[in-house]
Structure 1
């Protein structure tokens, strides 16, 4: 049995991808910071698809997170040919109003953890005649997004890094892809502290995690460089290359500008998905 490692697997897109791969009878190594939901997800998949599942409760912002994951998955390295860097989160508020440590934590999870996981597991993936590394970005990678600035910048990093890594590994057995979802019906927007107006706007374009996961898995196995689910997201990726940046930023700012005075600004609980 081959195995797939998925971060941020307890809910949302990560959970949906885990289910897609379980349908193919692949073993799963599921990682998340939320122990209760992680265990619930694992039990649901075991009961329905009868596949082997390993769960690791881990805060990916911790310095030793990847070393711990690598050590705990050692037995599975001869079977692990898929690694999916899905965990990530953002905070919706003016940069200067948010606690800097919270914003640095976004960098730790969205960027540093992805780098460490890729660096640690590429030698493992190289053992196979065909293997896959999927990094999860966001359509925000194509533009600057005021009031979601650190998150959008982190996803721009993910896209640039993934494409560069893909080129470096093109002669190897490791296929590197970037999933670029847009608005998805997950808990991400509420955890980011988004206002009611922003939530309502996002609902117009929401895709289900299950739909995104199907496109993601299919695109990964086809070795696509960028996997963009949904026509509106593809259109957004295309248009932002040609529309003046100041106009794109103005539109994004209008969507994400906080319209409610929220006491919790700067006190948002860190969550990985």
Structure 2
């Protein structure tokens, strides 16, 4: 059994890869950093005695999905899991952030998982039971001023997961969407968040390992939507009953005051 994990070099992606290796999966690891992927592959081989093959490539490139899909199908005919984890955020007001940089984020957060899923569905259909995990965020459940396009891209991924899950009923392919809240990864640094905002997030952050453990357990159990942590579950649930204007005002109060 092989699982393909994008954005596997660090953070939640790395932790998910280790969880899957512990559960008996061989891994196809994809990210930009070859050194980090190689180190992870060696750890998987040493600790869990499973194969881990690596592909270092820029996943934001327009042809990345085709490159990854072709490589994956060359490596195995037993692909049983696709984890669309690659992605990042940008913090700041929409009009003040660089448009090319925001478009690059959308390419990675939205277009890559759609294209890669489409390309690999034929391979996943060849096995009796297969899984797709799309990694979104609790930001998918509401608009987040100053993380506007990031939240919108994760809302897209959540909606895509819901629709695809329904379409694939009865095929043996289970689709799940993971929506973690604040996690102790490099997300805040990559998003350009200030130290004060990072410190606020750290107060409620979960570890990547805890998120990954919940994610893999939920995925293999066939859960549609996986939200690690009680606080995150409650906050996501409240967005469906609290008026949108109030939810957005609260989110803006958390993120915009530090701009």
TMscore range, shorter length: over 0.9
TM-score (norm 1): 0.92
**Cα shift readout 1:91-131 (whole Å, capped 9, x = no counterpart):** 10111111100000111000000001110111111111111
Q: Is 2:73–2:123's contact at 8 Å kept on the other side of the alignment?
A: no
CA distance in 2, matches of 1:73, 1:129: 18
CA distance in 1, matches of 2:161, 2:73: 25
Q: Which residue of 1 is the match for residue 238 of structure 2?
A: 239
1:35 is aligned to 2:31: no
Q: Is 1:81–1:132's contact at 8 Å kept on the other side of the alignment?
A: yes
How many residue pairs get matched? Answer: 259
Q: Is 2:41–2:51's contact at 8 Å kept on the other side of the alignment?
A: no
Q: Which 5+ residue runs of structure 2 have no aligned equivalent?
A: none
Which structure would you say has the larger RCO, counting Cα contacts within 8 Å and 6 or more residues apart? 1
More helix by share: 2
Q: Offset of 1:76 from its aligned partner?
A: 3.3
Q: Is 1:13–1:213's contact at 8 Å kept on the other side of the alignment?
A: yes
Root-mean-square deviation (CA, aligned residues, Å) is: 1.1
SS of the equivalent of 1:73 reads: helix
SS of the equivalent of 2:232 reads: helix
Q: Which residue of 2 is the match for residue 46 of structure 1?
A: 45
Q: Which residue of 2 is the match for residue 222 of structure 1?
A: 221
CA distance in 2, matches of 1:247, 1:59: 39
CA distance in 2, matches of 1:89, 1:77: 28
Q: Offset of 1:258 from its aligned partner?
A: 6.0
TM-score (norm 2): 0.97
**Cα shift readout 1:231-271 (whole Å, capped 9, x = no counterpart):** 001001110111121111111112212636xxxxxxxxxxx
Q: Is 1:3–1:80's contact at 8 Å kept on the other side of the alignment?
A: yes
Name which of structure 1's ranges 176-185 and 63-72 shifts more when overlaid on structure 2.
63-72
1:134 is aligned to 2:129: no
Q: Which residue of 1 is the match for residue 84 of structure 2?
A: 85
Q: Which residue of 2 is the match for residue 20 of structure 1?
A: 19
1:69-218 aligned at under 5 Å gives the runs: 69-218=68-217
Q: Offset of 1:86 from its aligned partner?
A: 0.4
**Cα shift readout 1:8-42 (whole Å, capped 9, x = no counterpart):** 00011000010011112211000011222222222
**Cα shift readout 1:181-232 (whole Å, capped 9, x = no counterpart):** 1111111111111112211221121111111111111100111100111100
Q: Which residue of 1 is the match for residue 2 of structure 2?
A: 3
CA distance in 2, matches of 1:165, 1:222: 17
Q: Which 5+ residue runs of structure 1 have no aligned equivalent?
A: 261-273
SS of the equivalent of 2:258 reads: coil
Q: Closer, same or farther in 2 for the Cα pair 1:71/1:228, shift >3 Å?
A: same
Q: After TM superposition, where is structure 1 displaced by more than 3 Å over at least 4 residues in a row? A: none
CA distance in 2, matches of 1:6, 1:82: 8
SS of the equivalent of 1:81 reads: strand
